Structures are given as C-alpha cells and as structure tokens.
Amino acid sequence: MSEPEALLVCQRLTRHFGGLVALAGLDLQVRRGELLGLIGPNGSGKTTFFNVLTGLFPPTQGEILFAGTSLARATPQATYRAGITRTFQRSRLCLELSIFDNLAIGAHQRLDHGLAFNLLRRRALREQADATATAARDLLEIFDPPLARRLFEPMLGVAMIDRRRVEICRALMSHPRLLLLDEPSAGMTTEETTRLMDDILEVRRRFGDLTIVLIEHEMSVIERVTDRCVVLNYGKKLCEGTFAEVSADAEVRRAYLGLT
Amino acid sequence: MNGVMLGLMYALVALGFTLFFGVLDVVQFAHGDVLTAGAFVGLAAYAALLHAGVQAAVPQLIVVVLAATFSMAILGAVLGRVLVLPLKGAPALNTLLATLMGGTALRECIRLFYPGGSQPQRFPALLPTASWSMGRFNLRVDNLLMLLAGVVLVLGLSLLLRRTRLGLAIRAVAQDEETARTMGIDFRRVVLLTFAIGSALAAFAGVMNGLYYNEINFGSGLLLGVIGFSAAVLGGLGSFTGAVLGGFLFAGLQTLGAVVMPFASAYKDVFAFAVVILLMTWKPTGLIGEELGERV
Amino acid sequence: MRPAQAGARAALSAAAIAAVAALLLYGFLAAESEKTVGLVLAGAVVVVAGGLRSKVLPRLVRAAGERAVMSALAIAAVALIGVFHDDPFVLLLMARALLVLVACLGLHVQLADAGVPNFAGAAFFGVGGYTAAVLGHGATPHLLVLLASGAVAAAVGSLLLLPLLRTRGHYAALITIAFGLLFRTFLEVNETLGGPQGLKLGGLRLLGLSFNDDREIHGVEISGYAFYCLAAVALALVAVWLVRSVESSWIGVALDAVRLDETAAACFGISIGRWKIAAFTLGNAIIGVAGGLSAMMVGFIAPNNFTFQESLVLVSILLLGGLGNLAGLAVAALIVIWLPEKLQPIQEYRYLLFSVLVVLVLVLRPAGLIRRIARRPFGSLAA
C-alpha cells in the first residue's frame, strides 16, 4: 500500500508571545483528503496553530510545508492563495454586509478586481456576480437552505448558529485544498451539531479533494467524523492516531483529567 | 532656554493626552482648546482683579493660575462626563471626532463670546522681569520661575501617580478596567478625576504660554493640541516618561528645524511635523510604544 | 410588470422626486428674507420627514432606480441654472455646493468605504487648486489641467501612504492632521506659490470658450457662473457615477472587508495595503479635481482657505449626512454651504453650529455612524 500523501507537514513549529510559549516545537502532518481532529485542553495551542498556519503570526521557529511549498514566512493572503481557508473561534463576519457580500469575500481569488472590469464591463461583472450568487446558494443549500433564499439580506439579521454556518460556507467558496475549522459547533445543540457534521461530510464528498482539520471539544463528534486525531498539550503533540487509540492513551487521559 | 520652555509646555499637554489615553483608551482632541480656554479664563480673572482694584502682581498671579486651573479641571471633567464617557463603547473614531468637534466648539465660543476674542489678546506680565547676565547667557527670572513651576508640576504628577491612593487607582484603571472595577475602584470617579487633573495641567500650560509670549490667541490651542498629541504619541501613548520625553523631543525638533533652515524659521513646524510622520512610520506606536496586538 | 410599464414607472417616480427637490431648492435659493428661508426650510423638513416616515420616498426611489434619479436630479439642476441664469450670487452658491459635494465624495470613498480617515481634505482640495493655478496660465488645455489637479493631489497624498498603512486609528488620524497643518504652513511660507497672498487664476477655458465671460444668447443674459455651474453638475455626475460604480462592484466588497475586519479580509486574500492605497488615492484625486475647478471659478487661491477647520467641515458634512449615505451627504452639503449664506445671522456662528450638531449626532445617534448596506445586489439574480 502506498504511503498516504502528506498535504501539510509542520516541523518543530514554535511560537512565543513575549514570555508565553504557545507552540513548543509542534510536529504535525495532515494527510491529503483526511479529516483530522485537533484536540487538547484549553490553551494547548490549537487556535494558535491555525493562526500561525494561516500567516497571522509568523512562527518563532520551525517549518511549514504545504504541498511541498514553504509557508512559514507567508502572509495570510499567500496562504489563502495556496488553498488554505479557515473559520474563526469567535465568528468573524462583516455584520453590516449582506450574506452574499460575506460569501463573496470568501470567493475573492476567483473574482476580477480590476478597475476597468468593475467600472466599464458591467455586463461581465453582473454575470460574474450571478455565478457567485449561484455558487453561494449551492453551498447554503447544503448547510442552511432557508438562508439560500435570503442571500441579499443583511448579516445582522441572521441568528448566531446560522452565522457559523455562513462562515463555513465562506471558507468553502474558493474551493480550498485545506479547510481549517475552529470549534464550528460551539453554541450548538447536539442535534444542530450532528446536522453540521453531516453537512461537512456531505461537502467533503462533493468536493472530492478537500482536506479538513477540525478543532473540537465534543469527543463524540471527533469519534464519529474524524479519520485521525492529534492531541495537543502545552503547544506540543501529545499523541496521534485514531480516536480509539488516542482516547485509550494513558498520557492523554491524564492531560484531560476529568474529561473521560 | 527657548527650547526648554517649549519642551516643558508641550510635555504638560502631552501628559494630559497620555493620562486620558491610559485611563480610557481615548484621545481627547479638545485638550489643546482646553489649554486656550484656561488661558482666557486666567485673563478674565486678571481683568476682574484689575477692576476690583487689585494691583499687586503676586495675588494677581495666584488668582490667575488658580482660576485657570480650577475652571479647566471642572471643564475637563464635564467634557469627560458629557462627551467621552457616553461614547465609551463606540468605535474609537467616534470619540476622536466628537472631541475634535468639541474642541472646535470651544474654540469658536472663545472667538465669539470673549470680548475681542478673534484678535490676539495681550496677556499681562505677572512675573518679575529681572534677568541675570552670565557671560553670553541671559537668564530671565520669569522664565526660570515658570520652568521651576513646570518641573514641580511634572514631579508632583509623578508622585501623585506613584504614591497616592488616587494615583494607584488611576494606574489600576489604566492597566485593566475590569479588574480595577472588581477591586472596588469607582471607575467613573477615577476617569473624571483624571480628566480634571489633565485639564488643569493644560490650563497651567496655557497660562505659561500667555506669560511667555505675553499674548494669547483663540486659535493657538489647535496647534498646541496637535503638538501635544504628537509628543505623546512619539513617546508612546500611555507612558508618563514617554510624554515628557516626547514634549522635549518635539521642541528639540523645532529648534533643530530652525537651526537647519535659518532662512525660513517658519519652516520649523513643517520640519517637526514631517519628522513626526516619519518617526511614526518607523515606529507606529511611538518610540517607547506598546505592541498593538489583537486577539484572533 | 412589463418592461415598458416598469420603465414608465421609473421615469415618473424619478421625475416626481426631482420635481419636488427642484421646487424646494428653488424656494430656498430665491428666498429673499430670512423669514422666507425659514419657511422653506420648515417646508423641506416636513416634506422629507413625511416622505421618509410614510415610506413614500423610499418606495419612489426604489421604483425609479439610482440611474433615473440621478438623471432627473441633473436635469432639475440644469433647469435651476436656467432659472437663475443671470444671478451670479445664486449660481456661485450652487456651484460651490456641488464642488464641496464632489470633494466630500472623495472623502466618502476614503472614510466610509475603506475606513481611512482623512483630516486633510481641505489640503488636497488646495493642492488641486494650486495645480490649476500653476498650470492654468500656460498652454495646457484646461481639461487636462483639471485632470492634472486630481493627479497631483493623488501624488501628494501618496507621500502619506506608507505612514498611513503602518498606523491605525488615532495614529493614522494624527498623520493626516499633521499633514494638513504642515501643508498650510508650507504654503504660507513658500514664496514661489504666492505665500500668504496666494495665486491668481485666469478662469476656465474649454472648447475656446472662456467661462469667466458673461454671455448673451438670443437676448438672454447668462452669467459666466452659469457655465461653471454646468461644469460642476457634470463633474458631480461623473463623481457620483464613479463612486457608486466602485461601491457596487467587487472593489466595493473588498473595501468594505478592509474597513470592517482586516484580519478576516487578509485571511481571504484581500490585500489591505492595496485597497487602502486605492481608496486614498482615488479619493484624493476626486478632491483635487474639485479643488482645481473651484479655484478656476473663484479666480484666486490662498493658503487661508485650506485650514484644518475647513477639513473638519468636510468631515462634518459626511457625518451629518450619515456616514455612507449619499443622499444624506448631498443634503448635508447643501445645508452646510447654503444655510450660512442665506441666514446671515448664523454666518458667524457656523463653525460653532456645525461642531455642536456633529457632537449631538455622535453622542445621541451613534448608530448613525454605522454604515448601512448601501449596495444593492449587483447581480441580475436579485432576490
């Protein structure tokens, strides 16, 4: 059997914030096409890992290889162009704008931003807008069908849970190769969480070449949807493997005192 | 001497800016106009004294300074209560705009309602005009006195902040409002008192300004305010030492500009502001500034 | 509804809006006594408030569509110019309001669209004027001179780009304030640009016609200012078209993203620097062209006109009209420029009045500063 292809390779990834060590030499690999769960106690560096990966903070040390290209010094814009998108732990949507606008932001790289195009070729612009709206509706039909009919309404009037779904759709608009989800089910009921995970799996089926890293606190979710897990503690990898393997690990149980 | 006096004046204004920023994360753009208003109140007090027949310089000086500082302390607190605190939750731009406009309103009030306000007003020389000659240097007693007074104020403020309960409360609020509140500190009282103190300092600087140039002008507050803000920014908003250093740094830049371009000393302001812009490009949060972080 | 029917309805709605506007504007401009002015104002407030409350006005605007409303208002403006064809005072007033509106449109792109504050708007207006003064005497065709006014203003603004990109919030504000002060001082001290006295301009010459000369056409006296007014209307139309087109395009989306959440925008590939630069430069260019035309109309230019105070007036107009609201912007510009002229008693108090009004708006209606989504769905698949 051939070696599963590594899409993302992080070596000795370190990030200091003044005196605080958020990532302490993290070695992590994400295989192409897998759904990797990223778990760990609060403050173990999961969100920091996403932030460093997407270029919001440069790593103090270490290397990030994405499909062979180094992204350690990349700007957030460059990581987006490379095909990595994300959602945020605290929802970051432009509430003043419409649902469509927010999704269009996600599709940024597929849209023409030239002055001549936008000012003078209005028919072509409208066609591109229509195509974007169609793509937006297709995604919303998966995650939140009622919203698909409210595409041009302001984001302000959308409920919290729906906003999280929109944020996921925004991250999918550019057909990314790697999708980073930061606690997408926060604030959702069990039922809503199940539905969300079903939708994520559905999208994964449809897109074919989509790799996902999922930060979650709900262990049942991790158990159900992930192919593999990585457990972080104090900015380092504690353990990796399937959920069954990881949850049986003594170190992990110790780190998660009280959780299992 | 010139540069030192200016530096001290700027430092007094900059301290106000840095205090307000430290305590409330706001930039009070009306601060420069508070300075001018203080000077005008002082002038009015002087006119009233003359009218009442008080001729002696010492009581005149005392009354002028007290009138200016007390009235501006109150005005500062009022501005804080009416303009700044209500806009606490709003985006920073709102407070900036509100205080900018508030300053304009204050400036216009002086121009419109003070008799002859649109013209520069003569400010009396209330300090002894003797001077000592030491070789090439000519030391004027009045400048020396003002310098001393200014230094005493700065040191006094520093002591206030470091040694008194109020100072402790101010620093606590500046560090972390939430925690300070839970510790039982009356947030609003501290904020208003800070505004009062900062504004009183500005009023003193305003009187100094008047005594030094022997004249005051309704519009001078704008430039002084921007200079004071620049000085505070250069030193790092929120830093006491930074504000003082920044004040002297700006005065130094002006002096440097006048020296470098003797053909047009008016260019000194252009020079100084240009350098400020350059310095801010290099160090966006000031030379001793804080790291601007954002929780992602 | 069939297209022909919809078209007719659009035209009628637009005509209705423009007619009412024209009537109110005529009443205001023609009013002689302060009492009449007050009455017209009161009437205008009643009409507009009533129209908004009863939803009649928004419905008319939606039925008409932006294009139709703009065209109708332009026609109304030209009609007003015709009515006041030999009244230089009123014409000058109209032109000034229009040019201030254009300058504020530039500011709007910077502040309301991209979130870049510019407290040196008057300075860039002045740059445009000085450019026109310097180039206007030479052989350069005046159309090019006007374009150059915009280009030079944009170029001068580019000096501030690096500091502006590196700083945030009040630091960025300080940069433009310092620049405004710096610019004015520089002009006053610099003798080559006329020093405190300023420079004279020769007036606009387009297509061989000198705009400064009064004309007689078919026995009708037409003041030279009428032509400046027409030019101002044309400029305003171009500026509105430009700004609205940018806003209702992908560029507008990018600018909004930069203004609202730089971090998220960056994570989706939006270059913060590129768009702030674009907005700041475009805005300054628009302000510069308005400044150039204004200087040519007035005939001279001096540093005194470009104080920080004047920059604040421009920003006030933006705020009073409601940040992001172009219709509000137009109304605010009219009020700020016309009211002090028509109500002499408040001339002296205008800065005080406007600053207090803005403070009231900011403290009492802070939500008024939140940009409401102005962008209509610009795809044809509108929901």
Q: Give residue-wise pLDDT tens across range C111-149.
A: 999 999 999 999 999 999 999 999 988 888 888 999 999
**In chain C, what percentage of residues exceed pLDDT 70?**
95
Residue C375 is predicted with a pLDDT of 56
Alpha helices in chain A (DSSP H): 46-53, 76-82, 99-106, 115-120, 122-143, 145-148, 160-172, 190-207, 219-225, 243-248, 250-255
Q: How far is CA C199 from the centre of its chain?
A: 24
Gap between the Cα atoms of C248 and A119, Å rounded: 9
Gap between the Cα atoms of B28 and B10, Å rounded: 15
DSSP one-letter string for chain B: -HHHHHHHHHHHHHHHHHHHHHHHS---TTHHHHHHHHHHHHHHHHHHHHHTT---HHHHHHHHHHHHHHHHHHHHHHHIIIIIGGGSSS-HHHHHHHHHHHHHHHHHHHHHHSTTTTS-EE----S---EEEETTEEEEHHHHHHHHHHHHHHHHHHHHHHHSHHHHHHHHHHH-HHHHHHTT--HHHHHHHHHHHHHHHHHHHHHHHHHHHSEE-TTHHHHHHHHHHHHHHHH-TT-HHHHHHHHHHHHHHHHHHHHH-TT-TTHHHHHHHHHHHHHHHHSTT-TTPPP-----
CB A47, CB B296: distance < 8 Å: yes
Residue A258 clears pLDDT 60, i.e. is over it: no
Gap between the Cα atoms of B56 and B49, Å rounded: 10
Domain A1-83+179-188+209-260, second-level architecture: 3-Layer(aba) Sandwich (3.40)
A54 touching B, CB under 8 A?
Answer: no
Residue A165 is predicted with a pLDDT of 95
| Nearest C-alpha neighbor of A171 from the set A98, A102, A256 | A102
B34 sits in the region (left: phi over 0; alpha: psi -120 to 50; else beta) called alpha
Q: Where are the domains of chain C?
A: 1-83, 87-369
For chain B, which domains are there? Answer: 2-127+139-282 (1.10.3470)
Pairing of strands A228-233, A35-39: parallel
Crossing angle, helix C272-298 and helix C88-108, to 10 degrees? 170
Beginning with the edge strand found earlier in the chain, give each strand of the sheet holding A84-86 in spatial order.
A84-86, A178-182, A211-215, A35-39, A228-233, A236-241
Nearest to C379 among A75, A97, A129 (CB): A129
Q: Which residues of B touch C308 (CB under 8 A)?
A: 222
Q: From B291, which residue of chain A is nearest by alpha-carbon distance? A: A18
Instruction: Count Cβ atoms within 10 A of the Cβ of residue B293 and give its class: 0-12 exposed, 13-18 middle, 19 or more buried.
Output: exposed
To the nearest whole Å, the CA of C280 is away from the closest chain A CA by 15
Residue B61 is predicted with a pLDDT of 86
| Nearest C-alpha neighbor of A49 from the set A77, A78, A79 | A79
CB C16, CB C60: distance < 8 Å: yes
Tell me how many degrees the CA angle A144-A150-A156 measures, rounded to the nearest 5.
90
Residue A47 is predicted with a pLDDT of 93
Enumerate the β-bridge partners of residue A69: A66
Q: From A149, which residue of chain C is nearest by alpha-carbon distance? A: C383
Residue C257 is predicted with a pLDDT of 95
The whole-model pTM stands at: 0.91
What pLDDT, in 10s, does the model give residues B22-54? 888 888 889 999 999 999 999 999 999 888 887
Gap between the Cα atoms of B35 and B216, Å rounded: 11
Q: From C373, which residue of chain A is nearest by alpha-carbon distance? A: A97
Residue C313 is predicted with a pLDDT of 93
Chain C positions contacting chain A at CB under 8 Å are 242, 245-246, 249-251, 253-254, 256-257, 260-261, 263-271, 370-373, 375, 377-383
| pLDDT class of C1 with cuts at 50, 70, 90 | low
To the nearest whole Å, the CA of C370 is away from the closest chain A CA by 8
Gap between the Cα atoms of B154 and C143, Å rounded: 58
Residue A82 clears pLDDT 90, i.e. is over it: yes
| pLDDT class of B11 with cuts at 50, 70, 90 | very high
Residue C220 clears pLDDT 70, i.e. is over it: yes
CB B28, CB B99: distance < 8 Å: yes
Residue A1 clears pLDDT 50, i.e. is over it: no
CB B214, CB B122: distance < 8 Å: yes
Gap between the terminal Cα atoms of chain A: 35
Q: Among A96-110, B67-81, B211-225, C227-241, which is the least confidently predicted range?
A: B211-225
- Helix and strand counts by DSSP (H, E) for chain C: 17, 6
| Nearest C-alpha neighbor of C133 from the set C381, C378, C253, C299 | C299
CB A218, CB A37: distance < 8 Å: no
**C269 with A75: Cβ contact below 8 A:** no
Q: From A99, which residue of chain C is nearest by alpha-carbon distance? A: C377
C272 sits in the region (left: phi over 0; alpha: psi -120 to 50; else beta) called alpha
Q: From B293, which residue of chain A is nearest by alpha-carbon distance? A: A17
CB B79, CB C155: distance < 8 Å: no
Q: Which residues of B touch A56 (CB under 8 A)?
A: 296
Neighbors of chain A by Cβ distance (3+ pairs < 8 Å)? B, C
The more confident residue out of C243 and B239 is C243
Please state the rounded mean pLDDT for residues B230-257: 89
Q: Which of B100-109, B136-145, B168-177 has the highest mean pLDDT?
A: B100-109
Residue C243 clears pLDDT 80, i.e. is over it: yes
Q: Which of A93-102, C31-40, C182-191 has the highest mean pLDDT?
A: A93-102
Q: From A56, which residue of chain B is nearest by alpha-carbon distance? A: B296
A88 touching B, CB under 8 A?
Answer: yes
B296 touching A, CB under 8 A?
Answer: yes
Q: Which residues of A touch B91 (CB under 8 A)?
A: none
Neighbors of chain C by Cβ distance (3+ pairs < 8 Å)? A, B
Nearest to C352 among B108, B229, B266 (CB): B108
Residue B239 is predicted with a pLDDT of 86
**C373 with A154: Cβ contact below 8 A:** yes
To the nearest whole Å, the CA of A126 is away from the closest chain C CA by 5
Residue B288 clears pLDDT 80, i.e. is over it: no
Nearest to B292 among C117, C168, C263 (CB): C168
Gap between the Cα atoms of B175 and A38, Å rounded: 35
Residue C218 is predicted with a pLDDT of 77
The more confident residue out of C364 and A160 is A160
What pLDDT, in 10s, does the model give residues A43-71? 889 999 999 999 999 999 999 999 989 99
Please state the rounded mean pLDDT for residues B86-107: 86
Q: How far is CA C377 from the centre of its chain?
A: 25
Instruction: Identify the three-state secondary structure at position C367.
Output: helix
Gap between the Cα atoms of A77 and A85, Å rounded: 10
Give chain C's mean pLDDT: 87
What pLDDT, in 10s, does the model give residues A116-158? 999 999 899 999 999 999 999 999 999 999 999 999 988 988 9
Alpha helices in C190-307 (DSSP H): 224-247, 250-260, 262-267, 272-298
| pLDDT class of A42 with cuts at 50, 70, 90 | confident
- Segment holding A241, helix H or strand E: strand A236-241
To the nearest whole Å, the CA of C190 is away from the closest chain B CA by 9
What pLDDT, in 10s, does the model give residues C321-339? 888 888 889 999 999 999 8
What pLDDT, in 10s, does the model give residues C366-380? 655 555 555 555 644
To the nearest whole Å, the CA of A49 is away from the closest chain C CA by 14
**A75 with C242: Cβ contact below 8 A:** no
Q: Among A188-202, A215-229, B253-267, C265-279, which is the least confidently predicted range?
A: B253-267
**B108 with C315: Cβ contact below 8 A:** no
Q: Which amino acid is at B114?
A: Y
Give chain A's mean pLDDT: 91
Instruction: Identify the three-state secondary structure at position C12.
Output: helix
Q: Which amino acid is at B263?
A: F
Gap between the Cα atoms of B15 and B242, Å rounded: 9
Domain C87-369 has CATH 1.10.3470: yes
CB C129, CB C294: distance < 8 Å: yes
Residue B183 is predicted with a pLDDT of 82
| Nearest C-alpha neighbor of B228 from the set B204, B261, B212, B211 | B204
What pLDDT, in 10s, does the model give residues C49-81? 888 888 888 888 888 888 888 889 999 999 998
| Nearest C-alpha neighbor of C168 from the set B27, A238, A120 | B27
Q: How far is CA C75 from the centre of its chain?
A: 18
| Nearest C-alpha neighbor of C232 from the set C292, C153, C321, C281 | C292
Residue C372 is predicted with a pLDDT of 57
Q: Which residues of C touch A113 (CB under 8 A)?
A: 250-251, 254
Residue C228 clears pLDDT 60, i.e. is over it: yes
How far CA A201 is from CA of A134, A207, B117, C298, in Å, comes to 21, 10, 74, 68
